[in-house]
Amino acid sequence: MRRRRNPARLERHPPATALPHAHSHADSRHRRPLWDALAAGFTSLEVDVWVARGRILVGHTVPRPWRTLERLYLDPLARLVEENGCVYEDFGRPITLLVDVKSNPVVARPVIEQHLQRYDGLVSCWRDGQPMAGAVTVILSGTLLGKPYDAPQRCTAVDGRARNTQPDVPAALMPLRSDCWPELFSWSGEGPMPPDEHDRLVRMVADAHSRDQRVRFWQTPDAPGPARDNLWRTLLDAGVDLVDTGDLTGARDFFRRLRSSG
């Protein structure tokens, strides 16, 4: 009988050049969400999950039972790190796995924590308040948005809102603040950003950075072209940490052009 090869071991190692500001959104659009994002150099990845009957299922709407977080993300990442010692050779920080929880958070978080405990050394954790960095930091979003959770030992942090000031929540619990671009800004990248909107953007970023939190906006205009490039450059100039997009190759090419021009 012919032995079947492990498909995860056939994947190519990610390229040497990591993109520190690239966040992969809408994993359901891609045939191989994890590997396509890594092949483009993304250092922040988003995945939609539902927790049901003790399992973490991947899917934006109705998940299939064989599409588990372990099978599609955690196990391949663990093998990659085991075989290569890292995710990206030129990126010395943990990559981010933003887990967008679609189901009941009261049920979901304990199950996610339990599953992540099996990946000691791969995922970052906090023990008695002290961080222990792994190759991957898991941040929970969605229905768990902005709900801090502390415990003697935990493997997850949470995402907050960029528009909200929450000085009582430390970065160790909430390292990222995200928000919906169209709800806050009307500018889509055509011409210069209106001064009042630019000032608001800068203030939001400065507030988050003063608390050691990163900033991301979703639903930023994403159609390829000069307007998108202008918007992305403006985000980066304002200090936004993660550029959110589902266009993996488009973002890769944008960052390459930005690097070669500067």
What does the domain layout of the chain look like in residue ranges? 25-161, 165-254
Mean pLDDT of the chain: 87
pLDDT in tens, 187-243: 999 999 999 999 999 999 999 999 999 999 999 999 999 999 999 999 999 999 999
Does 55 have pLDDT greater than 60?
yes
pLDDT of 8 over the 50 cut: no
Distance CA 59, CA 75 (A): 17
Residue 220: per-residue pLDDT: 96
Q: Indicate the pTM of the whole model.
A: 0.90
**What angle do the packed helices 33-40 and 75-84 form, to 10 degrees?**
40
Q: Which single residue is written with the structure tokens 């075989």?
A: 83
Which pLDDT does position 27 carry in this prediction? 66
pLDDT > 60? residue 9: no
pLDDT per residue as tens digits for the range 69-109? 999 999 999 999 999 899 999 898 999 999 999 888 878 88
Question: How far lies 61's CA from each of 47, 49, 68, in Å?
Answer: 12, 9, 14
pLDDT of residue 18: 95
Predicted confidence (pLDDT) at residue 152 exceeds the cutoff of 80: no
Q: What is the pLDDT of residue 247?
A: 94
Q: Which two tokens stand for residue 194?
A: 């209106």
Cα distances (angstroms) measured from residue 90 to each of 16, 35, 41, 200: 6, 17, 10, 33
**Residue of 261 and 213 predicted with greater confidence:** 213
* Cα(89)–Cα(55) distance, integer angstroms: 32
E strand or H helix at 203: helix 195-209
Indicate the DSSP class of residue 255.
H
Model confidence at 1: pLDDT above 50: no
pLDDT at 3: 34
Cβ–Cβ under 8 Å, residues 143 and 49? no
Give the SS3 label for residue 36: helix
| CB environment 44-59: b (16+ within 10 A), e (fewer) | bbbbbbbbeeeebbbe
Contact indicator for 91, 132 with CB cutoff of 8 Å? no
Contacts of 128 (CB under 8 A, 6+ apart): 152, 153
Q: Which of residues 48 and 12 earns the better pLDDT score?
A: 48
Amino acid at 100: D
The distance of Cα 178 from the centroid of its chain, to the nearest Å, equals 10
Using the Cα atoms of residue 192, residue 194, residue 200 and residue 203 in order, give the sign of their dihedral: positive
Whether residue 13 is predicted with pLDDT greater than 80 in this model: the reply is: no
